[in-house]
Chains A and B, each alone.
Chain A
């Protein structure tokens, strides 16, 4: 039997979900034999591979790069799991949506000019900061998602519960306190 091809992806989030993932500690070693981690911020791999079984997606969809990658991921992955509140709800990154349709200008102004210590200018060159989307959206607003793993960040035992069920070939099911946002 082949190993589960797992990917973890870091979109617009604080990496807290990935920290929590690493908090799985010895469980990671336990499952190491059943999983191939084919793409992840902690794996040296530039191109999202084909034929991925499961992807845990951290973060909201905030910019053009996120968008492009997400479409690629959807096309190459069987099961997508929205991993953490930012992916599930937009969470903190989506707060800028409240500033209205011009929020991208405001946000860049705030980060690169108003609050900058030196070198105050907007990053306009291609390939430096990808163009921000006018609205930050949760993953499932862009592509269909199979499962949701909320939490900010989701505690390690919640991630474990999901991975265990997936490895057992069952659709993961969380309930009660395991579903808590925040």
Chain B
């Protein structure tokens, strides 16, 4: 494989394109509402109408407005059909030749679409994720070629540093810094891991990226491997994502076949293989040290850091671990330059962020917006507010480890620092909208229960502290708790945060603490008065009659 080969594939692909393209979403959201069948029926209808020379029906990845799926987009007419059924397919084809159709349509000019800025999702819903040619036609693997043939590994690391990219897996650690640490770590053998364990309830950003544009992740990993000196990569993807797994398998096979992975990539001395590791559904296995234990075939439990994976990771070798979305940003950064990337977003949070918009909101689905976009823009303009026009009460970000941001803070720009300041986190990108009917204590209980169930059981505070926090919340909700219980709960939150071994336990109190911060009155309203005064060991005894 050479640059020339790559260009030939691209040219051939573009030359073979038909005049009209019907893009039919085949990502998990739409396939769950029968889009596979829609695609098959569209194919049939095209043949029946004798249009196969002019019309291509392309199975694509996520087209973002998941709540209205199955989605079919017609190019170049820019018509978006929503809630398409198999039976409505003939009428879509008829409309191509000027027939009138009264099928439900979405508005491609709606704020939901126009306020998006696609870097990570640029190919999502556009290319056929199962065809490497389609990815190459969208300038795929040019970034890898550029890195391998025109740059030193050090230069690649430098570019990532310059871009200001930060990890999209939760903590927002500067990606360039991580890469340079791994690059500098001594060791003949190094590994790259892509964290595709995405375990937050309500989050499906990484799944969509893998299902819609798997090659972008592979290419990002390959660039990283070159930059840090690794020759083996693993993608750790959860078993609950069968479609993502199958698309990754296809993509790896295709890339290997044409020499974009494997020995001597682009006929250079660079070797890089990628294998999949399938997670068995433990949330904690998204934590990097637990994930690595799991890849090694051990019980997936975290271990104390340091040493960090960058120094001692898989099988004690220096290991670079990044999130799916982090890797998916890399090809664009390499192609378009660090400066371009750094020009998007805020001072400390560069680029875009993909969010999975869910909960009490009209438009649920996937959005990618520049860092710094106000929450209000996302929730009200793009998301269309609560269905039925009710008032929005809070937005939960960061998944079970995140926090609830109350409506009065909706003007907060979405970036790492601002969300942290409000007691929440960016997290991996789950965004759950709550309306005025939501009971915030119950929300806290729900997320805490998730952490309690998902605790790996290794360290005491998380394993059993979450159980006791849960007891307290149940007691409060059952209107059996007193102010004394609430004090104990708060004390426990502080203890579990500060003493737990890994991020799961350290962040498990977030839902409780953040709802307490903004919605304490809801807790107070559920408390019962103390039957007796007395201090439970805290109060000093009264001066005693008869004391000497």
Contact = CB atoms under 8 A, between A and B. Distances in A.
Interface stretch (A15-23, A94-102, A139-147): A139-147
A1 B544 CA distance: 10
B540 interface: yes
Contacts of A53: 544-546
Contact of B547 (A74, A144, A148, A168): A168
Given A71-B531, A75-B532, A144-B532, A2 B537 contact: no
Contact of B534 (A35, A145, A168): A145
Interface string A28-67: 0000001100000000000000000110000000000000
Given A78-B541, A146-B539, A146-B541, A167 B547 contact: yes
Given A71-B531, A74-B532, A75-B532, A145 B546 contact: no
B541 to A, nearest CB: 4
A4 B544 contact: yes
Contacts of A176: none
Contact of B540 (A4, A35, A143, A171): A171
A171 B548 contact: no
Interface in A108-149: 140, 143-148
Contacts of B533: 144
A4 B547 contact: yes
Contact of B546 (A5, A74, A140): A5
A3 interface: yes
A80 interface: yes
A166 interface: yes
Contacts of A147: 537, 541
A132 to B, nearest CB: 19
Majority-rule SS of B interface residues:
loop
A35 B544 CA distance: 11
A7 interface: no
Contacts of A34: 546, 548
Contacts of A4: 544-547
A166 B532 contact: no
A169 B532 contact: no
Nearest to A70: B532
B472 to A, nearest CB: 13
Contacts of A169: 543-544, 547-548
A144 B534 CA distance: 5
Nearest to B532: A74
A58 B547 CA distance: 23
A79 interface: yes
Contacts of A167: 544, 546-548
A54 B544 contact: yes
Interface string A1-13: 1111100000000
Interface of A: 1-5, 34-35, 53-54, 71, 74-75, 78-80, 140, 143-148, 166-169, 171
Given A140-B537, A145-B537, 9 more contacts: A3-B546, A4-B547, A78-B544, A80-B534, A144-B534, A145-B534, A147-B537, A148-B537, A169-B544
10 contacts: A5-B546, A34-B546, A35-B546, A78-B544, A79-B544, A145-B534, A146-B535, A147-B541, A166-B544, A166-B547
Please name the 3 residue pairs, one residue from A and one from B, whose CB atoms are nearest each other, closest first: A144-B534, A169-B547, A4-B546
